[in-house]
Structure 1
């Protein structure tokens, strides 16, 4: 398998696990509910393990920008769809800018390493 593809796959898994962990963080109510609290720990451990594997191939700045950017976007989407929270126009504009930044970095920057 292509090492870059494997690294981006691990980064994708890391992002999804981080989003799940963050969602469970809210559901833990300040770590007062046992099962969501355990879920937070498990998903964050998986997320950081997968991120560490991705960093073997992807430069830290690029990986972290993708991790943070897509993590914010997906966490916001989960909060709207599953937690029934609302976002205002400024939030949607910011999310659009984050997506644009991740795309510019990956499509046009030589720092992305591909």
Structure 2
């Protein structure tokens, strides 16, 4: 289910299923899962969390099993932050946004 969180960021209701790693050994139920569209929405989310005295935890692709993203507060996915900020061909160095997956960078 997709709904609005605050005025900007969408979130998916985590009940009845809970986020889990691909190996399936971590289960938990955050208050909300938020997927901001851009940096401004992420900043708004953090300000809302501070105002409501909630913690924010960022989750990656969940491809590895770790209790570090386990929370009962706000879980943030940066999966929509997928862009190349810069690329330097002479050094082969790229700066990408946090949601970019390595296999997506092969187009460089």
**Does the TM-score normalized on the shorter chain lie above 0.5?**
no
Higher relative strand content = 2
Structure 2-normalised TM-score?
Answer: 0.27
The answer to which structure, 1 or 2, has the higher relative contact order (CA under 8 A, 6+ apart) is: 1
Structure 1-normalised TM-score?
Answer: 0.27
